């Protein structure tokens, strides 16, 4: 842009500010005005701030007007919040003379052109750009870079951010990951910047940590298989099996997000940058108490924690469980452990074996003196008797006074299939008799009497 030349001859040494016209030296006012065209970017000084516009002196014959809508890419701005009196600003010439004879300027478009060139350079070099968060929209944030930049919610931080409103007004450093001038589209990533910063920190932490160290961290995330701990720049994993000496169904039973915990470094994979941690290792090992306190043959109280096909697990101390094998559940044969025990049942168990090396306990319920299990089902006892096996101790006892056998020697009560036993009031199942000699429906009294001594061979007639 060059200043206009007045009709006359410039006076030598005046720098063009004086001209000679018709032999007279007069000021060259035209030389003090800036020459520009529409679309040019000019510099000016803020001389007045109104409610809906700003006046700027750019050295023209009249001041330029910047409407409030052309001050910033933000919506519904107050001019007083954007500029102050005396500020030097850049503005793009929209029109040299509108219908009202005003010079109309745009600050936001001047910033847009300048910012776009800066953003293009940053996108090519990979350098980050800075912008202030001016809006929270669906799916992310809008940053003022001189142009509107979109920062997706998934790229705001390394971890998912639940409250985007907390970033309003903050100045963030982001990388440009997508640029489209025709659509004025700029997509940003703050996560990329944070990951680069963390990469250096991560390498420093990995170099400092050693297996066996006890460190402090904060629970950053909880998943089904464990909990992640932030170690000031790198995450380590506490597997669910390393959270507690007791059985854990879900990590949330032991820790919560945000908890500060002391953990032990179990293993470090420096190539894959993975750290395995343990929480229970910083707590008292209850197994040591078992070794120092209990011995084989001791009887103690426990709680059934789990019933499986081969037996039941019983917790004798918090974090210490032993196995009661199916063969040690009861004196009688057990098809399914759930027939005998169920979770949360409290009972006494006897220690059969303590395996210190494998940290295993073998327990027994049936070997506890006095027993603590209910007697077997009477129907099973009758069936066992019918098959010729020894009756279980819980079975009915024959009445005294049973008549002697024909040989003169006393006999025990006849088997259930030969002669009905005297019923027990609370166990009506004792009235059952074998199918080969059902009692007549019209003679129920036969079930309540002892067999006639003179007719011992009556059942043999079948």
Which of 314, 336, 364 delimits the end of a domain? 364
238 Cβ partners below 8 Å, 6+ apart?
226, 227, 228, 229, 251, 255, 263, 277, 278, 279
pLDDT per position as a tens digit, 57-102 = 888 878 889 998 888 877 778 888 888 899 998 888 888 888 888 8
Higher per-residue pLDDT: 143 or 371: 143
Comparing CA positions, the residue from 297, 287, 296, 350 lying closest to residue 321 is 287
- Structural domain of 166: 126-194
pLDDT at 234: 84
pLDDT at 410: 40
Q: Token pair of 160, please?
A: 């998912």
Comparing CA positions, the residue from 424, 162, 435 lying closest to residue 447 is 424
pLDDT per position as a tens digit, 299-344 = 999 999 999 999 999 998 887 889 999 999 999 999 999 989 999 9
Q: Within a domain: residue 409?
A: no
Higher per-residue pLDDT: 151 or 27: 151
Q: What is the pTM of this model?
A: 0.45
Determine the Cα–Cα distance for residues 423 and 446; give it in Å rounded to an integer. 11
Residue 245 has pLDDT above 90, yes or no: no
Which of 224, 250, 282 delimits the end of a domain? 282
Q: Within a domain: residue 421?
A: no
Q: Within the chain, how many helices (H) and strands (E) appear? A: 5, 23
Task: Answer positive or negative: Cα dihedral of 295, 300, 302, 307.
Answer: positive
Higher per-residue pLDDT: 314 or 22: 314
Burial of 372 (0-12, 13-18, 19+ CB in 10 A): middle
Q: What is the DSSP letter of 424?
A: B
Q: Token pair of 123, please?
A: 């996108």
Count of domains for the chain: 4
Residue 289 has pLDDT above 90, yes or no: no
Q: Are 352 and 296 in contact (CB under 8 A)?
A: yes
Q: Within a domain: residue 456?
A: no
Which of 231, 251, 282 delimits the end of a domain? 282
pLDDT at 324: 94
Q: Within a domain: residue 221?
A: yes
Torsional class of 178: left (φ above 0), alpha (ψ -120 to 50), beta (otherwise): beta
Q: Are 312 and 328 in contact (CB under 8 A)?
A: no
Residue 262 has pLDDT above 60, yes or no: yes
**Which position has the token pair 């931080």?**
157
pLDDT at 62: 80
pLDDT per position as a tens digit, 35-48 = 777 888 888 899 99
Residue 132 has pLDDT above 80, yes or no: yes
Determine the Cα–Cα distance for residues 246 and 280; give it in Å rounded to an integer. 9
Determine the Cα–Cα distance for residues 451 and 143; give it in Å rounded to an integer. 102
Average pLDDT over residues 9-16: 66
């Amino acid at each position: 842009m060059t200043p206009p030349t007045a009709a006359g001859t410039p006076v030598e040494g005046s720098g063009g500010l004086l001209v000679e016209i018709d032999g007279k030296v007069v000021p060259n006012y035209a030389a003090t005005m800036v020459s520009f065209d529409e679309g040019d970017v000019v510099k000016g000084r803020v001389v007045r701030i109104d409610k809906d516009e700003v006046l700027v002196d750019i050295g023209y014959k009249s001041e330029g007007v910047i409407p409030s809508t052309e001050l910033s890419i933000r919506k519904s701005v107050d001019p007083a919040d954007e500029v102050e009196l005396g500020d030097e600003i850049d503005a793009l010439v929209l029109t040299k003379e509108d219908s009202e004879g005003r010079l109309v300027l745009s600050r936001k478009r001047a910033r847009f052109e300048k910012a776009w060139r800066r953003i293009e350079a940053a996108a090519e070099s990979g350098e980050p750009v800075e912008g202030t968060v001016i809006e929270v929209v669906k799916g992310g944030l809008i940053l003022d870079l001189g142009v509107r930049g979109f920062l997706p919610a998934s790229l705001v931080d390394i971890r998912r951010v639940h409250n985007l409103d907390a970033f309003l007004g903050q100045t963030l450093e982001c990388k440009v990951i997508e640029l489209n001038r025709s659509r004025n589209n700029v997509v940003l990533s703050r996560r990329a910047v944070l990951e680069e910063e963390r990469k250096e920190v991560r390498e420093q932490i990995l170099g400092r940590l050693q297996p066996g160290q006890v460190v402090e961290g904060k629970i950053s995330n909880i998943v089904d298989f464990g909990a992640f701990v932030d170690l000031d720049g790198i995450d380590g994993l506490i597997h669910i099996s390393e959270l507690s000496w007791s059985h854990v169904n879900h990590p949330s039973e032991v820790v919560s997000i945000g908890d500060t915990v002391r953990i032990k470094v179990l293993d470090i994979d420096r190539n894959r940058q993975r750290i395995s941690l343990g929480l229970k290792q910083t707590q008292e090992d209850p197994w040591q108490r078992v070794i120092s306190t209990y011995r084989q043959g001791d009887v103690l109280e426990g709680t059934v924690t789990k019933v499986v096909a081969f037996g039941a697990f019983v917790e004798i101390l918090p974090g210490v469980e032993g196995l009661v094998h199916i063969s040690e559940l009861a004196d009688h044969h057990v098809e399914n452990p759930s027939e005998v025990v169920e979770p949360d049942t409290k009972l006494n168990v006897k220690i059969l074996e303590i395996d210190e090396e494998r940290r295993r306990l073998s327990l027994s319920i049936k070997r506890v003196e006095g027993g603590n299990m209910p007697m077997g089902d009477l129907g099973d006892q009758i069936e066992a008797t019918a098959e010729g096996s020894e009756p279980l101790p819980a079975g009915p006892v024959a009445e005294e006074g049973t008549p002697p056998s024909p040989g003169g020697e006393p006999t025990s009560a006849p088997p259930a299939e030969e002669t009905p036993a005297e019923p027990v009031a609370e166990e009506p199942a004792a009235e059952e008799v074998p199918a080969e000699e059902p009692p007549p429906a019209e003679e129920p009294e036969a079930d309540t009497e002892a067999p006639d001594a003179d007719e011992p061979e009556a059942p043999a007639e079948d």
